[in-house]
Structure 1
């Protein structure tokens, strides 16, 4: 299992052609897909379900989205097979041209950057609750009596964590800790789903009437569509799927279709259970980070906080590594045209990029403490990788295919392209309005 985890991160960090002798079977591919998709987005699902006002609307939107999600995975695997490329940006550049390829790289870096921000926001949330728990345990006082000193501020704790733990883990070329802790994300997601489901059935009787806890319906479709960015953020594994497909032992498209269906099925079950039971437990009062809705002194929830916190601390350097590699490669390539790329130059550039990344994400995470606002931005950007770029790829279907089938695929590509543009526009406009309302 540890070798499989180490291999999975290597697949995400560099093209599979550089990984000699490593080939994935069906189980390994499904495991990596699940590990890529199950993560921090899970915490936001109950809040997104609450926004729709009705569980049936949220589940309906989720099921429709899953059709597009699976379709995107299949298209990307097919695109990799006809292009012969093994990374997302290389496939886009090969099929859509260098301009679209550069645009893909820009969106990829920005998406990874915002994911890093979301990670720090979630860590800050957990630090806040853990500090309250420790204070209550030591002093026997309630949260309302907790003094607001600098050492009780989660922003200071987050800064110390970034300085002494996240930054040292992120600077090296290779993230050594990935070999031992990468499985934490999947474990934390499954544990949280089980806890939320069980907590719902053993919960105490609500203090407020049902009518005041649950939404009575929807007054417009805008809140219903607001669940889509959360779905895109939660289910996104499309950036990694081409590297996974390229390293399969069996690269038949039918085999890849099966892997995509199985992976998305398990993801759908986990996300749906978390969203439904988290919403049923807290109603419209559920926090954007569902763990913030639970009592700070609940030991079972504390374990969930620690699992999620540790998994994010270990995954953050990996996300930074992926984003940094996209930026660093053209910088070194450009310098190599005129001067020799020395080891010291590469090291200084890598350290500078790492410092800029960590500092920038920390400052944004402190300024925007609500995870829902960050996810609305990430969900919009994710539409490019899930809908827009795969839709563009279908315009390159080989002419040898049956004419009617070929045009059906092109029509589906146009539908995906239009849906992606709608999701990006809707999510971005909501994020902008939220920022303006804060001013």
Structure 2
């Protein structure tokens, strides 16, 4: 049988066993688009700040290119793991290949990661509401220069509460977030528009240019500056949680096809993130905000449109992230009792509690850089650690040459060690930042 033959070529060219999926199948372009939609999100706003923290353009781009090897590797490993396990979700693949204990750890990390992503969404949404409110105040300032008086109901935090109550909550309660099919392109449009706007504003700005050397002294050591940018890269390029579902829906499940999809998706992300990081950093230098849109003036029409696009995109994506986390928590609660009324009560209660807690954290931790440091650390599990574990466990049973098996096991160990280091480093710096502010 072909599945039992050895050799390096077979690992990359023949489709492995997989469970049949309903038609229609997902095509090449559709897979690339979904991967882009998953990766191009809130992390884009922080790339100019990450370039500043890295010490300049050259260092940041070098770290990006180095990280891209591991990012693409993780996607390829997860596609391969899905093909040999026949599972269609990230958690199921890890649980099947690595055992129930590691599977439970994966579920815990998955919920925590999605939860913190929801916090980041609300922090960014609050930032955009704050900047929009400033624009409104400037527009209604009277001729004497007297701005509209401050009231509690004009505070952006109260507006964020209203958005959560009357928009996000109703969109999050249903079992399936049907609105996604109408807003699937919004995140990509918002990301592309933001990048174009930042490049255009750099070349059309009227303020004096910010003269920057290729790198500058951030006050930290060289390696500390490099590792400062990695959590933002992990947060920005993160699409690994959905890649298993994308692979399992492909019509052509050859791993060579999946490798091309992964490479193309990450390359497009690299171009968009790098352009945003370079031109945002060159515009503001070391003074760039952690949310780059906060660095632009409130009356900039290009950036007002960008804020509106990103705000609407976040409002529609938040329910999707909530749904993914809620399903993991909800399944054990429904295992022994599965009536319609009980399921509805559990779903509504989990949704309400999730939104309340993420809203409170977003209000009391308004700095997006702290949230990204935590998310970047957790993301290291999904980008490096779990794919490395899946590769090592898969090599125990898959037929191939001994030399290739040991090479792949060694690579799996390298990704695990690298991911563990990134998690420890980013989490440590996030905690130190919190204590430094106290």
Compute the TM-score of the two structures, normalised by the length of structure 2.
Answer: 0.92
Shift of 1:113: 0.3
For the Cα contact (< 8 Å) 2:119–2:371, is it kept in 1? yes
Separation in 1, partners of 2:276, 2:239: 19
The 5 A counterparts of 1:167-206 are 167-206=169-208
Deviations, residues 204-239 of structure 1 (Å, cap 9, x unaligned): 2427x7369984466402122111010000000000
**Number of the residue aligned with 2:6:** none
Quote the Cα distance in structure 2 between the aligned partners of 1:110 and 1:304: 29
The 8 Å contact of residues 231 and 373 in structure 2, kept in 1 or not, is answered as yes
CA distance in 1, matches of 2:319, 2:281: 32
Q: Deviations over 1:238-269 (max 9, x none)?
A: 00000000010000010000100110010000
RMSD: 2.0
User: Cα distance, 1:181 vs. partner?
Assistant: 1.6
Q: What does the per-residue CA deviation read over 1:342-361, in whole Å, with 9 as the maximum and x for residues that have no partner?
A: 11100000000000000000
1:139, distance to aligned residue in structure 2 (A): 2.0
1:116 aligns with 2:118: yes
Residue 424 of structure 1: aligned partner: 423
What is the distance in 2 between the residues matched to 1:154 and 1:213?
38
How far residue 159 of structure 1 moved from its aligned partner, in angstroms, is 0.5
For the 8 Å contact 2:74–2:384, the answer to whether it is kept is yes
Note if 1:73 corresponds to 2:75: yes
Q: Once superposed, which parts of structure 1, at least 4 consecutive aligned residues long, lie more than 6 Å away?
A: 16-19, 141-144, 211-214
- When residues 134 and 17 of structure 1 are mapped into structure 2, their CA distance, relative to the original with a 3 A threshold, is farther
The counterpart of 1:388, out of the listed 385, 388, 391, is 385
User: CA separation of 1:330/1:155 partners in 2, compared to 1, >3 Å: closer, same or farther?
Assistant: same
Q: Which sections of structure 1, spanning at least 5 residues, go unmatched?
A: 1-15
Deviation at 1:437?
A: 1.8
Could you tell me whether the CA contact under 8 Å between 1:29 and 1:244 is conserved in 2? yes
Q: Give the equivalent residue in structure 1 for 2:361.
A: 364
Q: Which runs of 5 or more residues in structure 2 are unaligned?
A: 1-17
The correspondence of residues 60-99 of structure 1 with structure 2, limited to 5 A, is 60-99=62-101
In 2: Cα distance, 1:92 partner to 1:185 partner: 28
* 8 Å contact from structure 1 (residues 89, 104) kept in 2: yes
Aligned twin of 1:373: 370
Classify the secondary structure of the residue corresponding to 2:140: helix
Partner secondary structure for residue 226 of structure 1: helix
Q: Which residue of 2 aligns with 1:210?
A: 211
Is the 8 Å Cα contact of residues 19 and 86 (structure 2) preserved in structure 1? no
What residue number does 1:437 align with?
436
Q: Which residue of 2 aligns with 1:6?
A: none
Q: CA deviation at 1:54?
A: 1.8
Pair 214,250 (structure 1): closer, same or farther in 2 beyond 3 Å: closer
